Amino acid sequence: MSERRQSGMWFEDLGEGLVVAHAVTRTITEADNTLFSVMTMNPQPLHLDAEFAASSEFGERLVNSLFTLGLLVGVTVYELTLGTTVANLGFGRVEFPAPLFHGDTLHAESTVLEARASRSRENAGIVKFEHRGYNQRDELVALCERSALMHRRP
């Protein structure tokens, strides 16, 4: 059996103040937004009904904010937590200062806000991240604070 490779960072690598610009970007399609909305049973016409959304202040359908949040966290995994996280512990602040639309491309940056040794697990630490998502015009479209239980270096 071959050894699994990890690309995330160990707890010891995640010092407070560390900023990571993430390599993975993603253009959001109509299919992404529609599928996510119907899979999560969210019938909001701002996401699904082009005619309804055209008469809104936005003039077109918006990307479901929970898809935006999931995508934001997802694009951070490769550099930060792939193979090095024990568990996602929760979210603090979550904001969507500007909408995303079909055809927009999300890119992200993360900052380590806090890092401390776990009191209950000697082989892990708790890291609080701030993830920021931007569209192709570098407008901030999503921000969240997330805490994760991270493995220490073996």
DSSP 72-115: HHHHHHHHHTTTTEEEEEEEEEEE-SS--BTT-EEEEEEEEEEE
pTM: 0.94
d(CA 137, CA 147): 28
List of the chain residues with pLDDT < 70:
1-5
d(CA 131, CA 14): 14
d(CA 88, CA 144): 13
Q: Which residue has the tokens 């701030």?
A: 130
Phi first, then psi, for residue 75 (nearest 5°) are -75, -10
> Can you give the pLDDT at residue 6?
75
> Can you give the pLDDT at residue 103?
98
> Can you give the pLDDT at residue 1?
57
Identify the sign of the CA torsion 110, 127, 70, 86: positive
What are 46-89's pLDDT values in tens digits?
999 999 999 999 999 999 999 999 999 999 999 999 999 999 99
CATH numbers and ranges of domains, the chain: 11-28+72-151 (3.10.129.10)
